[in-house]
Chain A
Amino acid sequence: MIYFDNSATTMPDGSVMETFLKAGTRFFANPSSLHTPGMEAERLIEKARAQIAGLIGAAPDEIIFTSGGTESNNLAVKGTAAFYKGRGRHIITTAFEHPSVYEAFLALEKDGFSVTFVRPDENGIVRVKDIEKAITDETIFVSVMHVNNETGAVQPVEEIGQMLQQYPGVSFHVDGVQGFGKVPLHLNKACVDLLSVSGHKFHGLNGTGFLYKRSGVNVLPLFSGGGQENGLRSGTENAAGIASLARAVRLLHNENPEKLRKITGTIREQLNTRNWAVVHTPIQAAPHILNFSVPGVKGEVLVHALEKEGIVVSTTSACSSKQNKPSRTLEAMNVSGEQAASAIRVSISRYNTMEEANQFIAALDRVVPVLAKKRNERK
């Protein structure tokens, strides 16, 4: 199988899996317990926290372990809005966020917040000045994803963060789930207050992740309970998961993500020479995602046809593909309905090879003419 759906979930790295197993067996005690096994589990977590903090240029107490991207995004969006609602009730995001941000904003809208969804340009990239234009005296929170999960478009979060420095009452959240370790992001240069990260996007395990929260920025917790994670995320810590996450972050840190661009670049070049393909991913994109359409062939049909060839890809994001709705991201980019319905996402990781890219192109060359012919016959 050629696995090209790494933006949905990556395969866990063998040594990450090993850490999880060993840590789960050896450090199973409740980290809050007074006894020595409890203390050892707590120690494992604190070492993991310090390691991750060191690698991303943060302080250990700025890392809150969560169950992954969705929880981190919810904690950031709802937690910040709840904490600062006394200052104002206007919040800003983009029209192409992941559902865990987008839906959280819609929920807040129902709760009485006023929400602005800023639309991107035709490349799927939001303009800094459009964000700034949306700011009012009531604005308390801005959330912009670093890398779009469907097209790979890189958003100007550094420029947005610096622009927001003129608005000290506004907290800035970045959904870093797709961008983490793929596109460099300097927390201080980009003046990021909150950053969401999910382990299973970089060969960690599902159910692991963290929220970076700059010290001095406040959120209200989503969960009531035993007050773990400095009171911000109650629930017995997933010590084994946290240890495995620390390892996955370290392995990711040693990678050069630009290596991935050679592979997506080759696919892009090849597709550009085929008259049946339209590439949606802008040039200014993360190195691991390529989104394109074969107009006239439904994305779903192409996914299944490619699977028969032993190649796994996605239509849009995995989180919305089951709902059979056209991609919000492509729609926001003003891509036509027909093209959006035929969009395919290829997302690669460090385990993919150039050879696989060539096989993928060869498979498309076999499959697309057949599908196109069938469609013409139906007509």
Chain B
Amino acid sequence: MKYDRILVRYGEISTKGRNRSKFTNKMKSNIKRLLADDQIQVEAQRDRMFIYLNGASFDDVKEKLVHVSGIQSFSPVVKTSQELDEVKAAALELVKKAMSGGTTFKVETRRADKTFPLDTHTLNHEIGGHVLRNTEQLTVDVRNPDLTLVVEVRKEAVYLSCETIAGAGGMPAGAAGKAVLLLSGGLDSPVAGYLMMKRGVEIEAVHFFSPPYTSERAKQKVIDLADALTKYGGQIRLHIVPFTSIQETIHKQVPENYTMTSTRRIMMRIADRIREQTGSLAIVTGESLGQVASQTMESMAAINDVTNTPVLRPLIASDKLDIMEIARKIGTHDISILPFEDCCTIFTPAAPKTRPKTEKVQYFESFLDFNPLIEQAVRDTETIMLPKKEAEIEDLL
């Protein structure tokens, strides 16, 4: 069956008032960029959006659309002529595709074309009767049906839809401003990024890279993670910060049990510099209270000491198992668990302070001016635009 268009229903956007078009336009441009298909047209109306397929495959579009934040649900729509037999045939096919076992249904007809000879009641009866006669285990329930077949009679054509597919919910990506995400390569930070993106935040990802202690594969893993996140709303810029000399300096300068705290503080300072440069408003981390030594309340206070920028921690009260479940759902879990060393695991002291004191770490760091090192790292940062096509490999395949 060939679908003509997709009807998209808004989620939380519908609660917006006069600024609603700001959100719908953002979602429209996100969808257009994601589908990357010139033949497909997107039309954003105040209460719903239409995606005109113009011959493109619904299944392909559906696969991408389920990830777009801001969509409550969507339905594929079939277009037929005003010929009643054609309408009936399409109705039957749609219901058959959507039903499973003992299903209840009803027909809901809207007649925008008042010149159409049959009224809505007769149409409901005609179409519903045809569907019932040609299916088994289907019954009518007008109050609480499992399936609603919507038939819209218009001058130019008749539109039918039956299936409703749940969307990702949330707000359109990019509608809520930009933030810097600290992306490590572990399980948590991609999930934190995803949750923020779902609330409409555009992401600038920052990763700290310490060659030769960490490998190209570890870097590639982070590129893959950021790439996986682009499914959920547009582009992501990934900033890869060379971190080796800073880590080596900290290692020499700071007592071993405070190196972890100090490392995090410098990371936060670098992230803050990148935030400034990219016009972002906040820093997002995947921290979850008490998960590791750096994520105790004391550690977070000592680390947060270096900046006044809002640090958003969407996972702060989440359990690890719940985080893993989201990671699986969004496709980052299997990438995250690949066993490559990252810069945090390599210099980890045997017994890091779980309750560091801010004054102490300030004191340890006071013997050396880290600013030149930080500026150098920011200058040498490599920026990768994602999604990135690996042209060479794709050409081969």
* Nearest A residue to B334, CB-CB: A61
Q: A23-B396, A243-B396, A250-B397 are in contact. Are A47 and B220 (CB under 8 A)?
A: no
Contact of A47 among B215, B216, B217, B397 (CB under 8 A): B397
Q: Which residues of A contact B393 (CB under 8 A)?
A: 43-44, 47
Q: Give a binary string over B193-217; 1 marks a CB under 8 Å from any A CB, 0 the rest.
A: 0000000000000000000000111
- Interface of chain B residues 120 through 135 with chain A (CB within 8 A): none
Judging by beta carbons under 8 Å apart, are A19 and B220 in contact? no
Q: A43-B390, A47-B390 are in contact. Are A247 and B216 (CB under 8 A)?
A: no
B219 → chain A closest CB, angstroms:
9
Q: Which residues of B contact A26 (CB under 8 A)?
A: 392
Complex alpha-carbon distance, A47 and B394, angstroms: 8
Q: Which residues of A contact B397 (CB under 8 A)?
A: 19, 47-48, 51, 243, 246-247, 250
Complex alpha-carbon distance, A246 and B394, angstroms: 10
Complex alpha-carbon distance, A39 and B218, angstroms: 10
Q: Give a binary string over B375-397; 1 marks a CB under 8 Å from any A CB, 0 the rest.
A: 00000000000000010111011
Q: Which residues of B contact A51 (CB under 8 A)?
A: 397
- Interface of chain B residues 34 through 55 with chain A (CB within 8 A): none
Judging by beta carbons under 8 Å apart, are A39 and B220 in contact? yes
- Interface of chain A residues 40 through 57 with chain B (CB within 8 A): 43-44, 47-48, 51
Size of chain B's interface in residues, with CB distance under 8 A? Answer: 10
| A34: interface (CB < 8 Å) | yes
Q: Which residues of B contact A246 (CB under 8 A)?
A: 397
Complex alpha-carbon distance, A48 and B396, angstroms: 9
- Interface of chain A residues 94 through 150 with chain B (CB within 8 A): none
Q: Which residues of B contact A22 (CB under 8 A)?
A: 396
Complex alpha-carbon distance, A39 and B390, angstroms: 14
Judging by beta carbons under 8 Å apart, are A247 and B217 in contact? no
Complex alpha-carbon distance, A43 and B394, angstroms: 11
Complex alpha-carbon distance, A24 and B217, angstroms: 21
| A36: interface (CB < 8 Å) | yes
Q: Which residues of A contact B216 (CB under 8 A)?
A: 35-36, 39
Q: Give a binary string over A207-251; 1 marks a CB under 8 Å from any B CB, 0 the rest.
A: 000000000000000000000000000000000000100110010
* Nearest A residue to B217, CB-CB: A39
Q: A34-B215, A43-B390, A47-B390 are in contact. Are A247 and B396 (CB under 8 A)?
A: yes
A51 → chain B closest CB, angstroms:
5
Q: A43-B220, A43-B390 are in contact. Are A19 and B215 (CB under 8 A)?
A: no
Judging by beta carbons under 8 Å apart, are B220 and A44 in contact? no
Complex alpha-carbon distance, A48 and B390, angstroms: 12
* Nearest B residue to A242, CB-CB: B397
Q: Which residues of B contact A34 (CB under 8 A)?
A: 215, 217
Q: Which residues of A contact B220 (CB under 8 A)?
A: 39, 43
* Nearest B residue to A42, CB-CB: B217
Complex alpha-carbon distance, A22 and B394, angstroms: 12
A360 → chain B closest CB, angstroms:
35
B223 → chain A closest CB, angstroms:
11
Complex alpha-carbon distance, A51 and B390, angstroms: 13
* Nearest B residue to A23, CB-CB: B396
Complex alpha-carbon distance, A76 and B131, angstroms: 45
Complex alpha-carbon distance, A47 and B217, angstroms: 15
A62 → chain B closest CB, angstroms:
13
Kindly name the residue among B215, B390, B396 whose own CB sees the greatest number of chain A CB atoms within 10 A. Answer: B396
Q: Which residues of A contact B394 (CB under 8 A)?
A: 47
B283 → chain A closest CB, angstroms:
30
Complex alpha-carbon distance, A207 and B299, angstroms: 57
- Interface of chain B residues 247 through 277 with chain A (CB within 8 A): none
- Interface of chain A residues 71 through 108 with chain B (CB within 8 A): none
- Residue numbers of B with Cβ under 8 A of A are 215-217, 220, 390, 392-394, 396-397
* A-B contact sample (19 more), CB < 8 A, given A26-B392, A247-B397: A19-B396, A19-B397, A22-B396, A23-B396, A34-B215, A36-B216, A39-B215, A39-B216, A39-B220, A43-B220, A43-B390, A44-B393, A44-B396, A47-B390, A47-B394, A243-B396, A243-B397, A247-B396, A250-B397
* A and B contact pairs by CB, cutoff 8 A, 18 listed: A19-B397, A22-B396, A23-B396, A26-B392, A34-B217, A35-B216, A36-B216, A39-B215, A39-B216, A39-B217, A39-B220, A43-B393, A44-B393, A44-B396, A47-B390, A246-B397, A247-B396, A247-B397
The 5 A-B pairs with the shortest beta carbon distances in the complex, nearest first, are A246-B397, A36-B216, A19-B396, A47-B393, A243-B396
